[in-house]
Each structure stands twice: as C-alpha cells, then as structure tokens.
Amino acid sequence: MRIATKPLLSLLLLAGIIFLSCKDEVQPTVGQTSENSKPNIIYILADDLGYAEVGAYGQEKIETPNIDALAKSGMLFTQHYTSAPVCAPARHMLLTGLHAGHAYIRSNSEWGERGDVWNYIAMAKDSTLEGQGPMPENTITMADKLKEVGYTTGIVGKWGLGAPHTKSVPNDMGFDFFFGYNCQRQAHTYYPLHLYKNRNRVHLENDTIAPNTPLAEGMNPYDEASYADFNLKDYSPDLMFDEITAFVSDNIEKPFFLYWATPIPHVALQAPKKWVDYYVDKFGEETPYLAGKTAGSGYFPHQTPHAAYAGMVSYLDENIGKLVQQLKDEGIYNNTLIVFTSDNGPSYAGGADPLYFESAKPFKGEYGRGKGFLYEGGIRVPMIASWPDKIKAGGKSDHISAHYDMLATFAEIAGYRKPENTDGISLLPTLLSDRNQEEHEFLYWEFPSYGGQVAIRMGDWKLVRQNLKNKKEPTLELYDLKNDPTETTNVAENHPEIIEKASEIFKRERESPEMENFRIPLLESGSLTEK
C-alpha cells in the first residue's frame, strides 16, 4: 500500500482560516476559495537544455521567441539548479523534493541484471527489459499530493523512473494519465517502435532503426538522400504534443497538473524538416555528424548537425507557443502557472555541440564541465515562471533555488500538506515579489557516476570534489562564485573554515544510499575531505 495523507484543505477553506505556511502543516492557497479556482500548473522540463540555449538567457543562434515571451510575461531565475547532472536522479528529486544526500535514486540505473537491456530490438520484443531501476513502492511524489487536493495529474514525455510491470510507473506514482517513453534508453530515438499510454504500449508506424546505427558504407554524407532511413513516419514529439492538447482540453473545468517531460533536445539529432531547412539557410554548409565512426560517438548520423539541434529547440519553442495560445483560447491562461526549466546541463554527445552554441554561457558546457558533472555548466539551468496577475511581468530573481524546491512551492500554491522529509523551500514569496523569502543554508549534490562527485553550495561558496570512485587523485576544490562564477580558481587552501563548514553540513545531511551501486566508498566513512 502507498502512504497517503487525507487532505484537510476543504475544511480549512470553508472555515475561512488562513494559516502561515510552515513545514508539516496544511499550506494555504494563493487566494483560492473553491476547487475550480485553484491554478492549473504546467511544469515543462526540457532534456539536456543548457543554461544559455534560449534567447532569454543569451542564446544568439537558436531562436526561441515563445520561451522568451514567457520570460517577458513572468520571472527569470538566474541561479536555479537541477538536483542532479543526469536524467533519472534529477527527475526523482524533482518529484520527491529531496536532495541527493537523502534521495533513493542518485544516478541513472539501467537495471542490467535483467538481461540485455541496451539491445533496442530485444527491448522491443520483451517489455521486461525496458525501463530504469524503480523507486520504492511507498514513494510520495508531488503528483500524489496534488491529487489529494483535487488536481487531475498528467505526465507527457519521458518517465525514466521505473520499468513496466513494476509499481514505479507513472500511474502508480500519482499520475492519472501518462503518454510517452517509459524507458530513457528507448528515448534515444524520436522514431521509436512504440510509446506508452498509461500502462500499455502504443505501437507506431516506424521501421526498426536502432540507436547507434551509422551511415551505411559507401553513402555520401553530403547527400540528403543518404539519411532517408533515419527519417520515419511517426515523430514522437508530434504524438506527445497531441496528447498534451487533449489533456488540457479535457480538464478545463477543474484544476490540473501537467508535467511535460519533453525529451527535446536530448540527442539523437532528429528534427522536423521545416526547422532543419530553416537553420540550414541560416547557418550554411556544415560538416556532417557520422554516428559510430569515431570513438565516443553514437545515436544517429546527420548531414547538418547544428541545424538539426537548433531545429529541435525551435520546434519545442513552437509547441510551447501553441500551448500558451490554447490556454488563452480555452479561457484558462490567467489561472495557469507555467514553469519552464531543464533537467541538467548540455550534452556533448551524439552530435550536440555545446561549444558552437555556447550552450552553458557564461559557464563551460563541454565534457568535464557540462552534463554529468557538478560544475555550474552541468547543474545550473534556466528557469522561467509565468503566472498572469500573480507574477509581475519582466521580473528577474537571483534567489538560489533547486528543482527540489518545487514540491514545497506547489504545496503553498495548491494547499496540500508537505511531506515531513522534504528538503525544499517554497519559492512562492519570490514569485509574488514578497521580500520574506526563506533562503537555503546550502544546496547539496552527490553523484556516484562520472568518477564519483559531491558538491555543496553555501551562499557564494561552492565546494566540489571529483574522482571519488575512480583511480585518479580525488580533488578538493573551493570556488567563490561571486568573484569567480566560471570556477577557474581553486581557493580551498586559503579557506579552511569554509571547508569545515561544508564538512559539518555533509555529516549532518548525508544518508548512505540504500542502493549499493549508488554508494561512493570514500564517503561512507562519514568524512567529506578524506583522500
């Protein structure tokens, strides 16, 4: 049985009692007097979108007018962070409100003991090979809490937090509706053989082209016809957006929570032709990306990789514009909070080129600094919040926040009881331009992959440790982000008192992971600084 808390909100509203929001108490809504007047919440989570890959954050090559319009109509956050530098743990911590020292899932877990889970064809034939390692059955998510207070909940896009035939699928984790990829490995192609609608496969009219299939021998990489096999019929983002449109239309009479976990712009490079052509005209001739031809490459080849990547982002932006227009047409735009962000920093794989696009500007986004790493380029992400008549247009906030703040934020907006063990802080005061915003004493990251890493931010100070699980010498790094935002100068030797403060936070906050493969042996002693 899953743990649930009976909501008290309706009784409190009838009594006309207004409580100050505090941990472990029912949270007040923002002026709501009935269930129907509660705001809709749309949370858009892009996949591998860098801090500076939209115009509102300084992107100069990729055009994102609709996302930029959200920023103009709402608030842009300059110091917002993901909870983890890769997909699954970032999503787990977002939904549960926990930081990496407390979370169950702390890295991607492909559950390889089941069999040949990386074999695309085998997964297509056997659904028991799909999906990632599951969350515990009694996990409470923000979707659970929103359902308690009358919200219809839906997720469209990529799940990545549990396999079919387990209790860790969206419909068992608080979501009334799910459409998209259950498995993040299946999401390595935008022309999959199937997607999921709730618990069942929806088979698509696509041929079997497995990820990491290179251009055939003898094909001319500068000839568009050479890539015909990689452009199939059913483009998954089109199908998913159709489901988003239907979900909104079906729920205009009652409050809804839509978690749009779009796989864009995660590679493979597969974009609608009209957008590729647009950027080919803008960028000019390119060197083709030949997947599988060089070490470290993969996914699918593309004749014009920069145009394809930019086209994916602009396609997403186009659909965000369509969604906003639908909300206006349905008469529910003014009562809808839209949050746009990304799950982690930019990728460097599969033809993505963070150097060309300056994807993490002013931070570095290449391998070692972008996705998979706890430097700013890997974990600082864009966040834009738009809510007409509540959030002042054109606002900007440098409040330090993280994904795991959203569960607490939505609690105060929707009126549900926060779980006792949440690590987040409500951002509602900042959204409403209230100066009484609680601040984090620290932000905490722990990541057992890419060599093993940990990071703690305390005000402008940020401690980073790398190489905690590999054969390299472990690092002890300290950066002053106020004066050195790109983390170029390690000042650890000059500030032993800051190292000690971080060590105290580590001892107080970290719990050893339940899963053996998430453990970092060097940290199990309880010391942050041990070498």
Kindly indicate whether the domain formed by 38-440 is annotated with CATH number 3.40.720.10.
yes
Q: The pTM is what?
A: 0.93
Mean pLDDT, each 10-residue run in order, the chain (531 residues):
38 36 45 66 98 98 98 98 98 98 97 94 94 97 98 98 97 98 96 97 94 91 94 96 98 97 98 98 96 76 98 98 98 98 97 98 97 98 97 97 98 94 96 95 98 98 97 96 98 98 97 96 93 83
Strands in 204-351 per DSSP E? 256-261, 336-342
Collapsed DSSP state (helix, strand, coil) of residue 428: helix
Cβ partners under 8 Å of residue 235, min gap 6: 190, 191, 270, 272
Beta bridge partners of residue 402, listed in sequence order: 81
Where do the structural domains in the chain lie, given as residue ranges?
A: 38-440, 441-531
CA distance 164 to 26: 34
Q: Is 429 exposed, middle or buried (0-12, 13-18, 19+ CB in 10 A)?
A: middle
What is residue 203's predicted lDDT score, i.e. its pLDDT?
97
Buried b / exposed e over 125-136, threshold 16 CB at 10 Å, is: eebebbbbbbbe
- Measured in residues, the chain has a length of 531
Question: Tokens at residue 74, please?
Answer: 């709402």
CA dihedral 159, 160, 162, 168 (to 10 degrees): -30
441-531 carries CATH number 3.30.1120.10: yes
Burial class (CB in 10 A: 0-12, 13-18, 19+), 367: middle
Q: Write the CB contacts of 242 (distance below 8 Å, at least 6 apart in sequence).
A: none
3-state secondary structure of 154: strand
Name the amino acid, one letter, at 416.
Y
So what's the pLDDT on residue 435?
87
